[in-house]
Amino acid sequence: MSEAGVVNGRRQSPAVGTSTPGAKKRTFETRGPLKRYEHNPILTPEQMPFRCYAVFNAGATMFNEGVLLMLRVEGCDRTTSFYIATSEDGVDFDVNPKPIDYPLCTTEKRYGPAHRFDARITLLDGKYYIFHAAWLEPWGCMIGAATTKDFVHFEPLPHLSEPSNRNAVLFPEKINGLYARLDRPQNVPNYGSIWVSYSPDLEFWGRSMPLNLPQAGWIRNKAGAGITPIRTPQGWLEIYHATAPTCSSENYYLGAMLMDLKDPSKVIAAPKDFILAAEKDYECVGQTPNVIFTAGAVEMSDGTLNVYYGGADTRMCLAQTTVQTLVDYCLQARA
Ligand code: BMA
């Protein structure tokens, strides 16, 4: 009797659609240092305690010994509000059914509320600083901000930029005696890239400098900061996004980098490979296909780094790693 798949002594190619017993199956999960949570997505519009269209791009922080997400929720009237969700284990979240009563800053008091979205949260000197995108008609997108101690009462800060700017996040400590932020001025070719700016008082900003991001096929357009930078002995660790066009869409990718502790405009290690691309159904199908977008990560007590991200501008997802894994991954790029 001849061996299966062998005809006249020659091994035949398996027919399309048939599997070869024992053959290794290719799996996307082994691609990089960031592993998707197996029960993704962790929050969908259907799981919200009210009817809505999308829940995505949450800022994240440790709060009261649990994880707090500041969700971007799009209603069925397509207006956007911030909502709070909390969790003890960082996976199962309870959503407060009332939106945050978010304050108007000076510009909004004169011209009406901006469309506010994509909050990043930074704990600095006992206060939480929220930096977010603020789209104010007819000018476009600028950086809005507020502070809070309890995620109930918020104090507005003046808008921190002129249009066109977004994807801003405050560093969790002053650098050389100044507040420091990453952002993405976008009225430039490729819709902008990541810059660092400084301020003595969180109102007046300057000394702006672009980062020397690597050149890679996925870093074509819209490179923007993602999570609040994490201090490590080797540098500021950042997970950021960038996009590249395909024939059918503008695809989003996440990358990791280390920035110099004293001068974050100097990227000291940044692999040319992305750490996550939109591949799963919950990342590829939805309001905006092929989008993965992080605005926050939280280091859990067991050392796991939970990276929260929006999938296709529709739902919240989770990917996990550790700070050390990402640092080692970045440093390999320098070797
Ligand atoms: C960006 C932001 C994000 C959004 C992304 C993809 O410009 O508006 O909030 O997730 O586009 O649509």
Q: In this structure, what CATH number is given to the domain that contains residue 224?
A: 2.115.10.20
Asked if omega into 164 is within 30° of 0 (cis), the reply is: yes
Ligand 1: residue whose CA is nearest its atom 6: 291
How do residues 208-266 score in pLDDT, each as one tens digit? 999 999 999 999 999 999 999 999 999 999 999 999 999 999 999 999 999 999 999 99
Atom of ligand 1 nearest to the CA of 56: 10
Q: What are phi and psi of 194, to 5 degrees?
A: -80, 130
Atom of ligand 1 nearest to the CA of 72: 9
Mean pLDDT of the chain: 93
Is residue 183 in contact with ligand 1, taking CB distance under 6 Å?
A: no
Return the pLDDT at 13: 58
Ligand 1: residue whose CA is nearest its atom 4: 313
List alpha helices for the chain, DSSP H.
106-111, 281-284, 323-334
pTM of the model: 0.92
Return the pLDDT at 1: 43
- Confidence at 190, pLDDT banded by 50, 70, 90: confident
Q: Is residue 294 part of a domain?
A: yes
Provide the domain count of the chain. 1
Closest CA to 208 of 193, 223, 221: 193
Q: Which residue has the higher pLDDT, 32 or 288?
A: 288
Closest CA to 304 of 323, 288, 290, 285: 323
State mean pLDDT over 283-289: 98
Q: Is residue 147 part of a domain?
A: yes
Q: Is residue 10 part of a domain?
A: no
Distance of CA 260 to the CA centre of its chain: 21
Distance from the CA of 35 to the center of ligand 1, in angstroms?
Answer: 22
Q: Is residue 12 part of a domain?
A: no
Ligand 1: residue whose CA is nearest its atom 12: 288
Q: 256: which strand partners?
A: 239
Q: Is residue 57 part of a domain?
A: yes
Q: Tell me which residue range forms the domain holding 248.
A: 41-334
How do residues 75-112 score in pLDDT, each as one tens digit? 999 999 999 999 999 999 999 999 999 999 989 999 99
Coil/strand/helix, residue 102? coil
Atom of ligand 1 nearest to the CA of 252: 6
Is residue 283 in contact with ligand 1, taking CB distance under 6 Å?
A: no
Q: What are phi and psi of 286, to 5 degrees?
A: 160, -155
Closest CA to 37 of 91, 93, 95, 86: 91
Q: Which residues of 69-102 are buried (b: 16+ CB within 10 A; e: fewer)?
A: bbbbbbeeeeebbbbbbebeebeebebeeebbeb
Tokens 């905006």, located at residue: 288
Token pair for 147: 């502070």
Q: Is the pLDDT of residue 20 over 90?
A: no
The Cα-based distances of 244 to 219, 290, 314 in angstroms read: 6, 11, 20
Q: Is the pLDDT of residue 16 over 80?
A: no
Distance from the CA of 283 to the center of ligand 1, in angstroms?
Answer: 13
Residue percentage of the chain with pLDDT more than 90: 87
Q: Is residue 172 part of a domain?
A: yes
With a CB cutoff of 8 Å and minimum separation 6, the contacts of 260 are 235, 236, 266, 267, 268
Return the pLDDT at 95: 98
Diameter of the chain by CA atoms?
87
Give 15-29 as a 3 state SS string.
CCCCCCCCCCCCCHH
The Cα-based distances of 291 to 208, 280, 301, 303 in angstroms read: 28, 10, 29, 27
Distance of CA 144 to the CA centre of its chain: 17
Is residue 147 in contact with ligand 1, taking CB distance under 6 Å?
A: no
Distance from the CA of 118 to the center of ligand 1, in angstroms?
Answer: 8
> Residue 80 is inside which H or E element, if any?
strand 80-87
Is residue 291 in contact with ligand 1, taking CB distance under 6 Å?
A: yes
Q: Is residue 268 part of a domain?
A: yes
The Cα-based distances of 254 to 32, 36, 112, 232 in angstroms read: 11, 13, 34, 20
With a CB cutoff of 8 Å and minimum separation 6, the contacts of 2 are none
How do residues 152-169 score in pLDDT, each as one tens digit? 999 999 889 999 999 999
Q: Is residue 180 part of a domain?
A: yes
